[in-house]
Amino acid sequence: MKIAVTGAQGLLGEEFIRTLGTEHTMLPLPSHRELDLVDFHATRKWLLDAHPDVIIHTAANRDPDPCEKDPDLAWTSNTLVTYNVVNAARELNAVFVHASSDSVFPGDRDEPYHEFDEAINPPNIYGQTKLASEKLVLQYLPKHFNLRLPLLIGRTGGPTRNNLLKVRHTAMSGQKVVAAGDAVSTVCSVRDVARSVAIMLKTPFYGTYHFANAGEISRAGILQAFLKAIGMDPDWVTVSSISEMKKPAKRNHHICLTSKLLQPVFGITLQPLQSALDEVVADMKADGTI
């Protein structure tokens, strides 16, 4: 198959290129400097000229704080861009893979959210833009896989787009990183996401699916666990609280995902979080990244 990927230079997009590229022809969309996905006609022309069988849409502004400070930019870069890519997919009758977020849920309970829970009342502008993007996908494209994703970890994206590499770089420069110890969530390896999608694309079982490696951890906890795994002092991460950090966008103290569908529908069981982190570290060492 020919598979186009938006956000191909990012943590998730680059992993899709690497993992699916062993079996399919990958068509990474150009960087923002070469192709502005906000431009409806330019986006449409590129995709129609490439004529992919599948479009994987990972491009988005995922940092809740810039979204909160500039809602117009958030709606443009997240939802309008999704609209543009969705319309091209509809013309092409392409299968659409949409990278969504756990932020479409309100984070108002201790139990993890599954696929049959209603996405409603997102806590911030970022979540609102992702929920609106989901609705576009569901409204226009019957052939879709809507992936709800938690905090992502992986080998890809480079130090500017990969929080694990970023904390390593910061620590090596002698500076500490502040992260919330009371923001607890699930985590998923981008390799697990990509490997799962490789299986899903061989089926017509379209719909919304949740991804999470088994286990829960705080934002500070995952950074500390990574530093420890690569032989660095986890104390380079200073544990703070959501209230103390005074971020513009509202954060949830506890928001976790679980899947009731991946195993029965596709036979997919995601590995535990510690195994996923170990694999990420091994991949980084194999790539020479660390």
pLDDT tens-digit profile, the chain (290 residues): 999 999 999 999 999 999 999 999 999 999 999 999 999 999 999 999 999 999 999 999 999 999 999 999 999 999 999 999 999 999 999 999 999 999 999 999 999 999 999 999 999 999 999 999 999 999 999 999 999 999 999 999 999 999 999 999 999 999 999 999 999 999 999 999 999 999 999 999 999 999 999 999 999 999 999 999 999 999 999 999 999 999 999 999 999 999 999 999 999 999 999 999 999 999 999 999 99
Residue 133: strand, helix, or coil: helix
CB atoms within 10 A of CB 244: 12
Measure the CA angle with vertex 163, ends 162 and 168; round to 5°.
105
Q: Please provide residue 42's backbone torsions phi and psi, each rounded to the nearest 5 degrees.
A: -65, -40
pLDDT given for residue 152 in this prediction? 98
Q: Is the CB of residue 26 less than 8 Å from the CB of residue 52?
A: no
H/E segment holding residue 89: helix 81-92
User: Counting Cβ atoms within 10 Å, is residue 242 exposed (0-12), middle (13-18) or buried (19+)?
Assistant: middle
Query: Which structural domains are found in the chain, ordered by start?
Result: 2-287 (3.40.50.720)
Q: What is the pTM of this model?
A: 0.97
